[in-house]
Chain A
Amino acid sequence: MNRARLAFDPAEQARLKALYPQHFRATDAGRITGWVLLGGMALLVAYALWHLGFSLARIGTGLAQLFHFLTLMMPPDPGKQLPLYMHALGETLAIAFLGTFAGAVLALPFGLLAAKNVVRNPLIHTLVRRVLDVFRGVDKLIWALIYVTVVGLGPFAGILAIATSSIGELGKLFSEAVEASDHKPVEGITASGGGPLEGVRFGLFPQVLPVLASQILYYFESNSRQSTIVGIVGAGGLGLHLAEQIRILEWQKVSFLILMMLIMVAVIDFISSRLRFAIIGRRSVRV
């Protein structure tokens, strides 16, 4: 397709330049800052590449190796290990489910304590919030590693790791939901003689439960991704086998395990998004 181009004669160009000088200036302040920023970032990239010991030779040999591995991965094949891997898949699902469930149950009291409009004492709710921040700020894999040293190898450590992180994440979301909730139903219940617990049960829960349920489902999705990797540090599930097969270079089994992960995640995403929409309609969940 040939495009028509507008061409101005010199007189017309001069007229436009006189009319709109700002569009004909080669540089302005914003552009200079942009270039300086980009230059600084590029310099930092160069420094980081040098500091972390990147070398073209290593990249070349590494890419060749990687390509070689990829050819060895085809076709994905579990060999005789299929029953074992199916069991590991069940373990992974169990870790994700129990971890999310335990985290959600424990997040309820934490979330209430961290909400400004439930606990008036600023000392308590900021303290609880900091605790939740620590739970959330430390990666799931670090928790898994810690719990492996405490309760030993196996899926139970994974469950505890997922639960600890989930308390932090869901507790924060839950406290935000409670703070955003309407206080009038609670006042109504107090006015008709209900105590504080009844206020929470009949005034607050009906408002926040649908929101919370959808958030729990959302975190179940992300936890199912995470539960595949806690095995890398020895906390059960698919990750355990994956790390092992990569170490002994069984590439067909590696690709099969990655395929299992992808399919599992896709299926869980599908089911849980259907459930989410059933609970709160087609509103997008805030990430």
Chain B
Amino acid sequence: MAHTVVRLPAEQIAPLARLYDEAVAARRRHSLIAAGVVAVCIALSCWWGEVKPSVFAANAFRLGDYFWNILPTLRLDQLGTDLAEWYWNLDGWLKLLADTILIAYLGTVFGVIGALALCFLASANLTRNTTIRFAARRLLEFCRTVPEIVFALLFVVAFGLGPMPGVMALAIHTMGALGKLFAEVVENIDMKPVEGATAAGASWVQAVRLAVMPQVLSNFASYGLLRFEINVREAAIMGFVGAGGIGQDLVEAIRKFYYSDVSAILLLIIATVTIIDLVTERIRHRLISMEAGR
């Protein structure tokens, strides 16, 4: 089938074409303004952040050099001994890794307990009293906004070196982060069971326990597991400020240029994090399918 292209007379096309051109020009203007703002911000940041492109270009090869240096020397004909040399301190590192996971676990457990205690107070549908709700929300917000490592710095000074301040820092931050998520879950529940429980004479605590908990438990567990993954990553850096875990050996290796140790510990951390991610992901999928199957 042959198509014929209809061509409108010039006087009809002109206004349409003009409208089109105007629309395109407006979009171009917007993009140009946005690009200009970004460019100004970049220039300001470069000046403020002491970035000198020329210096960077001259030293860029050092980046590659460093990553080349931390790679171990592995020769095929003596692979066993080279590997053994690369992981000379495997026992010590594995102990520290176990510590790291325990720190993350304890921090997550205590954080979840704190979040459980506060999330019902911070959710609009269970707590009618605005003062309590406001206080709970602000407290959670503060705990969530201050980074873990800052809490860790403070606690190391107060409690002394070791895993304890690390656990506490993780617990407080976890409480803030999970409390918000938990409260959102609670605000999305079906209120009918709560009304039923209250109608049958349940107190506030009983209503939460028997009407709210069954609805939110699997979601809470899933969020808790997600947070555990994040906390393992965080626990790995707690050692930077002296709060236990594998971080203390990593910081030493980087600062003292023990090149092969850096890559060995980094690989261990990446492997641990990956394994924990995979395991928790499988558990989470089962939890979610349980939720869907109900």
Contact = CB atoms under 8 A, between A and B. Distances in A.
A3 to B, nearest CB: 4
Interface in B14-65: 38, 41-42, 44-46, 48-51, 56, 59, 62-63
A54 B167 CA distance: 10
A211 interface: no
A232 B48 contact: no
Nearest to A242: B150
Interface stretch (A9-17, A77-85, A119-127, A134-142): A134-142
Interface stretch (A43-51, A108-116, A174-182): A43-51
A95 interface: yes
A6 B105 CA distance: 43
B45 A145 contact: no
Given A4-B201, A58-B160, A150 B66 contact: yes
Given A225-B145, A242-B153, A261-B146, A53 B51 contact: no
B147 A62 contact: no
B159 A142 contact: no
B266 interface: yes
Interface residues of B, number: 60
B237 A258 contact: no
Interface stretch (B1-9, B79-87, B120-128, B251-259): B251-259
Main secondary structure, interface of B, reads helix
B105 A48 contact: yes
A194 B248 CA distance: 55
Interface stretch (B129-137, B186-194, B267-275): B267-275
Contacts of A141: 149, 237, 240
B274 A137 contact: yes
A243 interface: yes
A254 B184 CA distance: 32
Nearest to B149: A229
Given A141-B237, A229-B147, A229-B149, 6 more contacts: A44-B105, A65-B157, A95-B49, A139-B234, A145-B251, A149-B257
5 smallest beta-carbon distances between A and B, as pairs: A62-B159, A94-B49, A94-B45, A52-B163, A65-B158
15 contacts: A6-B201, A45-B106, A52-B103, A54-B164, A65-B158, A133-B274, A138-B266, A138-B269, A139-B233, A139-B234, A142-B269, A151-B62, A159-B49, A225-B147, A236-B50
